[in-house]
Structures are given as structure tokens and as C-alpha cells.
Amino acid sequence: MIDINFLKNNPDVVRKNIKKKFQDDKLPLVDQAIELDIQVRDAKKRGDEIRAEKNRLSKEIGALMAKGEKEKAEANKAKVKEDQALLEELEKIEAEKGAELKKIMMVIPNIIDPSVPIGRDDSENVEVARHGEPVVPDYEIPYHTDIMEALAGIDLDSARKVSGNGFYYLLGDIARLHSAIISYARDFMINKGFTYCIPPFMIHGNVVTGVMSFAEMENMMYKIEGEDLYLIGTSEHSMIGKFIDTIIKEDQLPQTLTSYSPCFRKEVGAHGIEERGVYRIHQFEKQEMIVVCKPEDSMEWFEKMYTYTVELFRSMDIPVRTLECCSGDLADLKVKSIDVEAWSPRQQKYFEVGSCSNLGDAQARRLAIRVDGPNGKYFAHTLNNTVVAPPRMLIAFLENNLNADGSVNIPEVLRPYMGGMAKIEKK
């Protein structure tokens, strides 16, 4: 959410930014926000004036009664009553118009960084760099669930009976590999200086609307019926929410946290849920990282964060590339975002395995996360990045480490988490 004062002082900048995101239907919201702000401020100003007059008249009543000027005292009482009715009306206008203004401000997109490429959708995202040499072996790479089934590592049919599509049972060495990747990613981030955290897996509605846009919320979040609680779609939600309504001393920044959590997603949209795959599912686990920092440090942290993910994947011999999201592919709260994509030998192309985002002060404004600095208080900047999400990571891992005989090599960095195992053999 951008600052209303910035919008009023720079309406053309906000309009230009909306056009860069190809959301022209939102252009009228700029003038609506300005008009609503005027109405809110006018109602507040008039209300303050009436409160002052009420206080003055109320103080006079006692003095008038003491002097025996009952008629004047009664006139004051009548005026106070009249003012109270008017004040209540003004307070109602201020509240209603304020709520309308907030609703509009919540959907006006954040100002994107000047370096963001302009494009309508993800087809116009821009490749930044490639890391590692993509290899296509001279033997067939089966579909990822076929690889897992050959290793007695997945049961989709039972999961479908128990929970429906978009769920799975992981078994044996594949389940152990899943946990090994999470544990390795946890220790990898701890060694980068991040504090390890296991957060709440359910959050209140005000936290949800603080960390994401309404469109994302509708397509992602599961609500607990009858309660103000939502299942998290990623631990970023509760990790950023940890700082709601806080004032952080500047010398306590940056706050760098890495978290483990299960994630729950409706996955409403064009992609849908796969019948036989684990690429897009309702439940998965993930290691995440978040940073809360000073505004001038956020781009430096942005660069660090996505390179950590690249380093992690390369340590497991998985080729990756980084792809910068264009303006039309950026969620409304984001200033800049880079996806990390892993190489798929089977498809002979890259696919998304993680995303790093700088949200500027948008989340901090919504959640009231402020910093107490030498020159006063200001809003922090927040960033988040996927360290690793094993269902997708498993696809990349299995395809890139599969041998012709169906066995799967275990990279050296993972062997301590796999009991020293160097290879997963076919059952």
C-alpha cells in the first residue's frame, strides 16, 4: 500500500505505474482516492472544531449555573446536544469515507522499481543469468511420479481416496530425501546468519490482508470455518506478521529469519491441480527466508537472498537460471521480483522452484511495522524468498540425479542427512 500523501503529491507517477502494470481499469481510483481523502480530512477538521466548541460550552455551563444564569446554561446545554449529534454524523462520515479510502488504497499497486522490465505477463519475463550446464542424458527421463513410484516412494491413489487430488503420501527413501532437503536447507540458511524459526501455521485475517493482495488471498488461502483464522500458504505470512504493530530500534536491523512450515493452498486459477504430479498441489512443505531492514538496504538484501537459493541448488548439482518478473507479472505489493528456475532434463526447459520479492514498505504500512531511527520513526522494508520447496525441488532433484538403471545419486552435501547413503536404489 502506497502512502496517500505520495499519491496526492504525485498522481501522475501513480497513474504511470498503473499503466506499466497494464491495469488501466484502476486509473480512476487515483482521483477517487484524492477526493475521499479530502472528504475524510474535512470531516475530521470539522469534527475537531465541534469538539473544541463542545468542550468550551460544557466548561461554561457550570460557571453560568454558579452565577445563577440558568437560561444561558440551558442554551449551552442545548447547543452541546446539537453539536453532539453533528459530531456523531461527522464521525460516521469520517469512518465510512476512511474505510472506502483504505479499500481503494489497498488495490492501487505499489510503485515498481525503475529496473523492472515492462511486460504484460510471465511470457515477457526476462532471463538474468544461468548457473550450471543443462544436461539431457542419452536415456529416457520418466515423469517424476513414475520415478518416485519405481522407488516405492509415493502413493497418490491412497491420498486421493483420503483427501482428494492435490495430496500425496511420500514413503521410504523419497520421504527421507524430502526431509533431508528441508534439513539441509535449514542448516544452509543458519550458516548464512539467519535465525531459525518455526512459526504459527494459522494466522488472523488482518495479518493475511497485511501481507498479500485481495486477489492472492482469494486464490490461495483456506479459511477455518467459524473462526478468524487462515491456514498459511507460505510461512512468509506468519513470519512478516510476527512484527505487526511493532516499533523496531534501528540498531536491531536487519531482522533475518529462516522458517520451516507446511503450506496450504487452494491453487485457484488457470494452472489447476495435477492429477498425477506434485508440481502444483494443495499441501507441501517449505523452507523460507524473510528480511526486515532499512529502506536503503533492501536492494542489497534482495540480491543476496536469491543468490542464496541459486547457491543451494548448485550445491546439489542442479542447473538453474534466474528470471526477472516483468511489470505485469508482479503482484501488486511487490517492488521487484526474481524467480529461480531449475532445469528439467525430461522437459528440456526450466521451471519455477522459488521466488524472491522485495515489497518495499507496502507490507510494513499495512501491518504498522515501524523503525525508530535517529531522525524519527519510519516504515521498514520487507523481503521474502523461497529457500526450497521440496515437492518441486524433488522433481528437479530426481530428474537431474537419475541414472540409466533408475537409481538416484545423492549429492555429497545431502549424505549426512540420508544416513550416509550415496544412492537410492530401485525397489
Q: Tell me the per-residue pLDDT of 131-167, one tens digit each, with 9 for 90 and over.
A: 999 999 999 999 999 999 999 999 999 999 999 988 9
Q: If you average pLDDT over residues 117-139, what whole number do you get?
A: 96
Q: Which segments of 106-134 does DSSP mark as H helices, in order? A: none
pLDDT of residue 421: 96
Strand partners, 343: 350
Phi and psi dihedrals of 31, rounded to 5? Answer: -65, -35
In the numeric block, the cell 521487484 is attached to: 336
Domain range 122-424, CATH class: alpha beta
Strands (E), 94-204: 126-131, 154-155, 169-170, 195-197, 202-203
Least confident of 54-58, 92-96, 126-130, 369-373: 54-58
Residue 386 near residue 355 (C-beta atoms within 8 A): yes
**Higher per-residue pLDDT: 335 or 270:** 335
- CB burial of 182-201 (b: ≥16 within 10 Å; e: otherwise) equals bbbbbbbbeebebeebebbb
User: What is the H or E stretch that residue 305 is in?
Assistant: helix 298-314
Residue 235 has pLDDT above 80, yes or no: yes
Average pLDDT, the chain: 93
* Chain segment 340-374, per-residue pLDDT in tens: 999 999 999 999 999 999 999 999 999 999 999 99
How many Å apart are CA 19 and CA 326, to the nearest integer?
A: 13
Residue 34 has pLDDT above 60, yes or no: yes
pLDDT of residue 351: 95
Least confident of 7-16, 110-119, 266-275: 266-275
Task: Please name which of 252, 242, 201 lies closest in space to residue 224, comparing C-alpha atoms.
Answer: 201
* Chain segment 370-407, per-residue pLDDT in tens: 999 999 999 999 999 999 998 899 999 999 999 999 99
How many Å apart are CA 201 and CA 157, to the nearest integer?
A: 27
pLDDT of residue 85: 87
User: What is the H or E stretch that residue 156 is in?
Assistant: helix 156-162
pTM over 0.85: yes
Q: If you average pLDDT over residues 236-252, what whole number do you get?
A: 97
How many Å apart are CA 170 and CA 116, to the nearest integer?
A: 39
Residue 113 is given by DSSP the state: P
pLDDT of residue 273: 59
pLDDT of residue 75: 82
- For the chain, residues classed under CATH 3.30.930.10 are 122-424
How many Å apart are CA 272 and CA 146, to the nearest integer?
A: 20
Residue 274 has pLDDT above 80, yes or no: no
Strand partners, 263: 284
Q: Nine-digit cell at 29?
A: 481510483
In the numeric block, the cell 521474502 is attached to: 384
How many Å apart are CA 219 and CA 203, to the nearest integer?
A: 17
Task: Please name which of 270, 288, 276, 275 lies closest in space to residue 233, comparing C-alpha atoms.
Answer: 288
How many Å apart are CA 151 and CA 409, to the nearest integer?
A: 13
Residue 270 has pLDDT above 50, yes or no: no
Q: Which residues contact 300 (CB under 8 A, 6 or more apart)?
A: none
- Exposed, middle or buried, 9 (CB in 10 Å: 0-12/13-18/19+)? exposed
Residue 262 is given by DSSP the state: E
Task: Please name which of 402, 426, 320 lies closest in space to residue 139, comparing C-alpha atoms.
Answer: 402
pLDDT of residue 118: 98
Q: Nine-digit cell at 341?
A: 528456475
pLDDT of residue 212: 85
Q: How many helices and strands, by DSSP H and E, does the chain display?
A: 13, 18
Residue 177 near residue 394 (C-beta atoms within 8 A): yes
- For the chain, residues classed under CATH 1.10.287 are 4-105
Q: What percent of the chain has pLDDT over 90?
A: 82
Residue 396 near residue 240 (C-beta atoms within 8 A): no
- Exposed, middle or buried, 308 (CB in 10 Å: 0-12/13-18/19+)? buried
Q: Nine-digit cell at 201?
A: 501455521
* Distance of alpha carbon 74 from the chain centroid: 58
Residue 246 has pLDDT above 90, yes or no: yes
> What sign does the dihedral 416-419-421-424 (CA atoms) show?
negative
pLDDT of residue 67: 76
Strands (E), 109-206: 126-131, 154-155, 169-170, 195-197, 202-203
pLDDT of residue 245: 97
Name the 3-class secondary structure at 379.
strand
**Higher per-residue pLDDT: 338 or 165:** 338
Q: Nine-digit cell at 310?
A: 541459486
- What CATH topology corresponds to 4-105? Helix Hairpins (1.10.287)
Strand partners, 259: 197, 288
